[in-house]
Structure 1
Amino acid sequence: MLTPQAAVASIAVMAVVTFLTRALPFLLFDRGAAPPKIILYLGKVLPPAIIAMLIVYCLKDISFLAVGGWAPQLISVGVVVALHLWLHNNLVSIFGGTILYMFLVQVVFV
């Protein structure tokens, strides 16, 4: 349990770090010049790499011993892919897959 002073200090540090992560790109890169090529490259490569890592992390504990251990995850992943290919909307894909997964886990594969 944090003391009130430690809680305030923690919140202050988190606020400063959050502010710096938002303000730093504007401070580092001149508005008139194009960003460095490495930044443009990372902006293209990192989002798909992070999504791929999240998929691997979410599917790492699948158990193929029973249908309920693998079917909800794989069905939901398929629906996320289909929704994204159809609508090209990340939020719809993520929320659709999450809602379907929760429905399958709590209602169908109990």
Structure 2
Amino acid sequence: MPVSVGRSLAIIFTVAGTIFFTRLIPFLFFPKGKEIPPIIRYLGRVLPPAVIGMLVIYCLKNVSVLAAPFGLPEFIAVAAVIMLHVWKRNNLLSIGAGTALYMFLIQVVF
């Protein structure tokens, strides 16, 4: 079903407005000079690793270690992501390279 130009623009503006306001809200609640509450600092410190951990588990939930290729492409790609991240400390580089390596492994090698 094709989407009209008006509907497309409405979707674009709605998404852009939503993103803008979600980025603006922290500055409204925590203006410059006002101390950030300890619970917010705690959540900012522990939630990113927790979310990444959940994403890793979700991504690897259907990996079969009992059938060929025994999860080797996934294990190699995860190891590459970890090593690159520890070495370069760059999320985009490590995740991008790990994804490219995984795609190469499942298409060409395994």
- Structure 2 length normalisation: TM-score? 0.86
Residue 47 (structure 1) aligned with residue 51 (structure 2): no
Q: 1:19 to 1:69 in 2, by over 3 A?
A: same
Write out aligned runs for 1:1-110 (5 A): 1=1, 2-68=3-69, 70-109=71-110
Q: What RMSD, in angstroms, separates the aligned Cα atoms of the two structures?
A: 1.6
Cα deviation code 1:30-58 (max 9, x no counterpart) = 21112121221111011101110110011
Letter of the structure 2 residue corresponding to residue 77 of structure 1: V
Q: CA separation in 2, counterparts of 1:15 and 1:88?
A: 30
Letter of the structure 2 residue corresponding to residue 30 of structure 1: P
The alpha-carbon deviation at position 80 of structure 1 amounts to: 1.3
The alpha-carbon deviation at position 98 of structure 1 amounts to: 1.1
The alpha-carbon deviation at position 69 of structure 1 amounts to: 5.0
Letter of the structure 1 residue corresponding to residue 98 of structure 2: G
Letter of the structure 2 residue corresponding to residue 44 of structure 1: R
Q: CA separation in 1, counterparts of 2:103 and 2:70?
A: 13
- Give structure 2 stretches of 5+ with no counterpart: none
Cα deviation code 1:64-93 (max 9, x no counterpart) = 243325110011111111222222222222
| Runs of 4+ that moved beyond 4 A | none
The alpha-carbon deviation at position 105 of structure 1 amounts to: 0.8
Query: Whose helix fraction is larger, Structure 1's or Structure 2's?
Result: 1
Q: For structure 1, which segment, 49-58 or 89-98, has the greater mean C-alpha deviation from structure 2 after superposition?
A: 89-98
